[in-house]
């Protein structure tokens, strides 16, 4: 048995060696073809409507000097939101697709200016490794806006800038025309600690009225919802109401005795005086009239004084 095993192993080895010496399937090429390096020649800035201004938004940023690429590592949200958008437009004005890709994410896309990212398609494809089609559309859309086009970013709630800067949530910024019909929308995210543009929304042609897309659904929220613990128990409305803590009412305390308010002193009534003892009545003497020389009656001297009591 042992000899049989050794014989089978030897045969297997010989078959493997003979197979290696046979023709290669598929045949190995003698020379390898080199992958062509994509090239692009800068183009002049396209003409646009400018919204009545002398220069377009693309003209404004085409005259600026770009920043050093090493500064991207230090950019944060929301502080440098406009910085990265401006650098992308400078690269678009100078028609430099390689520099524009430095500010775009690996899976960045472009489409309609909608938070739902309608008609999203990738910027870099095998047939367009430099994203020239996207750059052409971006140059055309930015040339329709005036040099002083309004720029705004979605305001974040207090302390939610930390979520955007950590990469947990995106941030939306946009340029818009005076009538609000032409838009350039940018979705900014932090990926691997680097600030990048994940999505660019624009119109291929200027709109003359508001556009509504059927069955587009609701766009995602501008700011994230507040996270709450999730319970797997069935929802019972009565139980949910009873589980909510009721506001505690203060215990009734005994009322403190209130001091009487000082009142004005009442006018004091005179105390009843004791009746005075009746004084003894004294007779009032009546003096006779003076003698003025007239004859007095004869019986005048005989009269006695009449006592008079006070009434």
Dump pLDDT digits (tens) for 212-268: 666 666 666 666 555 555 566 666 666 655 555 555 566 666 656 566 555 565 555
- Give the pLDDT confidence score for residue 311 in this predicted structure: 47
Q: Is 172:188 a contact under the CB 8 Å cutoff?
A: yes
The answer to whether 86 and 193 have CB atoms below 8 angstroms apart is: no
- Neighbour count for residue 191 (Cβ, 10 Å): 13
Distance CA 151, CA 141 (A): 15
Q: How many residues does the chain have?
A: 311
Q: Return d(Cα 161, Cα 76) in angstroms, integer.
A: 10
Handedness of CA 54, 58, 62, 66 (dihedral sign): positive
Helix (H, G, I), strand (E, B) or coil at 172: strand
Burial 31-63 (b: 16+ CB within 10 A, else e): eeeeeeeeeeeeeebeebebbebebbbbbbbbe
pTM above 0.75, yes or no: no
**pLDDT score of 231:** 62
- Collapsed DSSP state (helix, strand, coil) of residue 141: helix
Q: DSSP 3-state assignment of 308?
A: coil
34 φ/ψ angles, rounded to the nearest 5 degrees = -80, 140
For 264, other C-beta atoms within 10 Å of its C-beta total 5
91's enclosing H/E stretch is helix 81-93
What residues of the chain score a pLDDT lower than 50?
A: 296-297, 300, 311
The sign of the torsion formed by the CA atoms of 95, 101, 105, 109 equals positive
The CATH number of the structural domain formed by 50-202 is 3.10.450
Cβ 9 vs Cβ 16: under 8 Å: no
């Amino acid at each position: 048995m042992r000899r049989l095993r050794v014989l089978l192993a030897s045969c297997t080895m010989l078959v493997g060696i003979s197979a290696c010496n046979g023709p290669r399937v598929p045949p190995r090429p003698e020379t390898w073809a080199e992958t062509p390096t994509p090239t692009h020649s800068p183009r002049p800035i396209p003409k646009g409507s400018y919204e009545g201004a002398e220069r377009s938004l693309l003209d404004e940023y085409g005259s600026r000097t770009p920043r050093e690429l090493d500064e991207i590592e230090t950019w944060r949200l929301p502080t440098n939101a406009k910085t990265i958008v401006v650098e992308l437009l400078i690269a678009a004005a100078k028609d430099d697709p390689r520099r524009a890709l430095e500010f775009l994410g690996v899976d960045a896309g472009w489409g309609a200016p909608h938070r739902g990212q309608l008609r999203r398609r990738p910027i870099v494809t095998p047939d367009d490794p430099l994203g020239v089609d996207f750059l052409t559309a971006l140059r055309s859309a930015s040339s329709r806006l005036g040099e002083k086009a309004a720029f705004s970013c979605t305001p974040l709630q207090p302390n939610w800038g930390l979520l955007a800067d950590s990469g947990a949530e995106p941030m939306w910024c946009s340029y818009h025309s005076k009538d609000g019909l032409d838009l350039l929308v940018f979705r900014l995210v932090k990926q691997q600690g680097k600030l990048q543009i994940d999505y660019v929304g624009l119109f291929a042609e200027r709109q003359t009225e508001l556009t509504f897309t059927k069955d587009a659904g609701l766009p995602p929220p501008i700011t994230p919802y507040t996270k709450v613990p999730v319970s797997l128990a069935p929802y019972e409305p009565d139980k949910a109401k009873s589980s909510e803590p009721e506001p505690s009412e203060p215990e009734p305390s005994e009322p403190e005795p209130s001091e009487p308010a000082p009142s004005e002193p009442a006018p004091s009534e005179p105390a009843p005086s004791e009746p005075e003892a009746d004084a003894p009545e004294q007779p009032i003497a009546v003096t006779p009239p003076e003698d003025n020389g007239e004859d007095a009656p004869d019986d005048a001297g005989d009269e006695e004084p009449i006592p008079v009591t006070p009434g």
